[in-house]
Amino acid sequence: MRLLVTGAAGMLGTDVAACAAPHDLVALARTELDVTDADAVRAVMRDARPDAVVNCAAWTDVDGAESDEDAATAINGDGAGHVAAAAAEAGAFVVHVSTDYVFAGDATEPYAEADPTGPRTAYGRSKLAGERAVAAAAPGAHAIVRTAWLFGPHGKNFVDTILRLGGERDALNVVADQIGSPTFTGHLAQALVTIAETRPNGVLHVAGGGRCSWYELARETFARTGMAVDVRPCTTAEYPLPAPRPAFSVLGSSRHDHPTLPPWQEGLAAHLAIRKVHA
């Protein structure tokens, strides 16, 4: 299979490219392909002639999107549509990465694929626009993969940030009233390649197994690294940010054909092993 990966220099895209063997890989970083340029995307697809495309190109600055929603939507919405349309023209299956932020975050049970969306942030709206653009441009030949709370060795993420802060401070306050599904990019990347191979159509939820709060994730991180840091729970209200965070964004699945990832604790252990910061 000839596999094309967009956003291939990002935190997730780097791992997807690394998981692509033994397939014939075309990996394009943002500097090599601007997904907001429809003509450029079409030309790349024509030249590369991929069998499948994994679209990891994205605006990921959740807070920044609040003050520049148009720019976020140009990448996450229009850009996703350009990739899907060009893939469809080339006869390729498209795997598009989306997010838990398309939901309102006020559920009490894990969100399934068919649950109503209702984003409350500019970022979430931009990603939902991308989902709709992909489904419209490549009906019958797309997988929209919603995931959550990504961390990995190739980009900025919560786990690395908390490790840095733990090295600087004896005590940290960490939000305890937001619950989600931490997901290791190494595990997700392999699942995305598998989806490109098996081609399940429609929306799939693929995230780390289990659930926890940011507070619990921080505690587990320090426990596994042997760092003596006093982690104290705080509320979302005590740590305000420009974009409201979902209180509950655990992802579940009602589909039998979705890849199942290991528990988030295994993802954390794998990440720390790569970072060489385990106890």
> Per residue of the chain (279 residues), what is the pLDDT tens digit?
999 999 999 999 999 999 998 999 999 999 999 999 999 999 999 999 999 999 999 999 999 999 999 999 999 999 999 999 999 999 999 999 999 999 999 999 999 999 999 999 999 999 999 999 999 999 999 999 999 999 999 999 999 999 999 999 999 999 999 999 999 999 999 999 999 999 999 999 999 999 999 999 999 999 999 999 999 999 999 988 899 999 999 999 999 998 999 999 999 999 999 988 654
Instruction: Give a yes or no: residue 244 inside a domain.
Output: no
CATH number, domain with residue 81: 3.40.50.720
Instruction: Give a yes or no: residue 218 inside a domain.
Output: no
Distance CA 94, CA 230 (A): 45
| Pairing status of strand 179-180 against strand 212-213 | antiparallel
User: Does the model's pTM come out above 0.75?
Assistant: yes
Residue the block writes with tokens 């694929």: 113
Identify the pLDDT of residue 279. 45
Instruction: Give a yes or no: residue 226 inside a domain.
Output: no
Identify the pLDDT of residue 43. 97
- Sorted by sequence, the CB contacts under 8 Å of residue 22 that are 6+ apart come out as none
Identify the pLDDT of residue 278. 55
Instruction: Give a yes or no: residue 32 inside a domain.
Output: yes
Identify the pLDDT of residue 236. 95
Instruction: Give a yes or no: residue 257 inside a domain.
Output: yes
Identify the pLDDT of residue 210. 97
Identify the pLDDT of residue 112. 98
Known catalytic membership, residue 101:
no
Q: Provide the residue range defining the domain that includes 146.
A: 2-157+182-211+249-263
Instruction: Give a yes or no: residue 232 inside a domain.
Output: no
Q: Spot the catalytic one: 101, 111, 123, 215.
A: 123
Task: From 265, 182, 279, 156, select the one nearest 229 (Cα to Cα).
Answer: 279
94 three-state secondary structure: strand
Instruction: Give a yes or no: residue 227 inside a domain.
Output: no
Number of domains in the chain: 1
Instruction: Give a yes or no: residue 165 inside a domain.
Output: no
Q: Where does the chain have alpha helices with state H?
A: 11-18, 38-48, 62-67, 69-73, 80-89, 122-137, 158-168, 185-198, 214-225, 264-275
